Amino acid sequence: MTIFFDDRPFRIVRTNRLSAAETSSFDHIVDLRLEKLQKKMLTGHVLFLNATATTAIQVIEMLEKALPTEMLSITMATREKAEVEEKIKSIYKVIKAAGGVVVKDGKWLFMFRRKKWDLPKGKLDKGENSKTAAIREIEEETGVKASVRDKICTTWHTYSLNNNRILKRTKWYLFDCIDDSNMQPQAEEQIEKLEWYTQAESKSILINSYSSIRYVIDSLNKIHDSKPQ
């Protein structure tokens, strides 16, 4: 589970899934069995070992009170991943959304909205499933008709609305373009333009995007690279 707090990732992982290479990339590693959690630990890329549901909530409350400017990412390694994730979800109102990456002739569809490159996505309507919602949102926001090929990943991000703590879950899918003859940015959603980019070309535009969108594209790249050529 990866949650984005103000576009900075907070990951919950199983302890036995951390590789040596991944562990070496952290600025700080803190064993919560040996050290008491303190706000000053939230700097750079930090890994907390032996995390529990209680310590995860404590970190989240610190982030919500005042997000440290020096914090880049948090990873909490635990043997109780499911329990930790359920506890986190219980303190929020969960809103479900879906979106995706549309492919045509080896190029991916991106949108420029609010001065950043983004992907089409939106909230589920009542009674709607994620795949149907993603297809609808893509057509509403871009005018492109698409069909689902594969699941890419799921992202989560937090925000406040009317004094409620919101946790938005977005399921992301890979789509094949069926028809882009009516492609047009949805102005009422502040979408300024739509562009098709290759995997290589997308690297430069994603500099001006969100960490959550880069996470989706990175997940897609891993799927692409793992398939036999």
Please give the Cα distance from 138 to 63 (Å, whole number). 33
Please give the Cα distance from 213 to 172 (Å, whole number). 10
- This prediction has a pTM of 0.85
Q: Which domains does the chain have, with CATH numbers?
A: 2-90 (no CATH), 94-226 (3.90.79.10)
Strand pairing category for 8-14 and 44-49: unpaired
Contact between 191 and 100 under an 8 Å Cβ cutoff? The reply is no
Contact between 210 and 5 under an 8 Å Cβ cutoff? The reply is no
| Dihedral of alpha carbons 185, 186, 192, 196, sign | negative
Per-residue pLDDT of the chain (229 residues; tens, 9 = 90+): 999 998 899 999 999 888 877 888 899 999 999 999 999 999 999 999 999 999 999 999 999 888 888 999 999 999 999 999 999 999 999 999 999 999 999 999 999 999 999 999 999 999 999 999 999 999 999 999 999 999 999 999 988 877 788 999 999 999 999 999 999 999 888 999 999 999 889 999 999 999 999 999 999 988 766 555 4
The 3-class SS string of the chain reads CEEEECCEEEEEEEHHHCCHHHHCCCCEEEECCCCCCCHHHCCEEEEEECCCHHHHHHHHHHHHHCCCCCEEEEEEEECCHHHHHHHHHHCCEEEEEEEEEEEECCEEEEEEECCEEECCEEECCCCCCHHHHHHHHHHHHHCCEEEEEEEEEEEEEEEEECCEEEEEEEEEEEEEEEECCCCCCCHHHCEEEEEEECHHHHHHHHHHCCHHHHHHHHHHHHHHHHCCC
In 3D space, the residue among 159, 155, 156, 1 whose CA is nearest the CA of residue 67 turns out to be: 159
Here the tokens at position 178 are 């069926």
Here the tokens at position 15 are 């302890």
Strand pairing category for 71-78 and 44-49: parallel
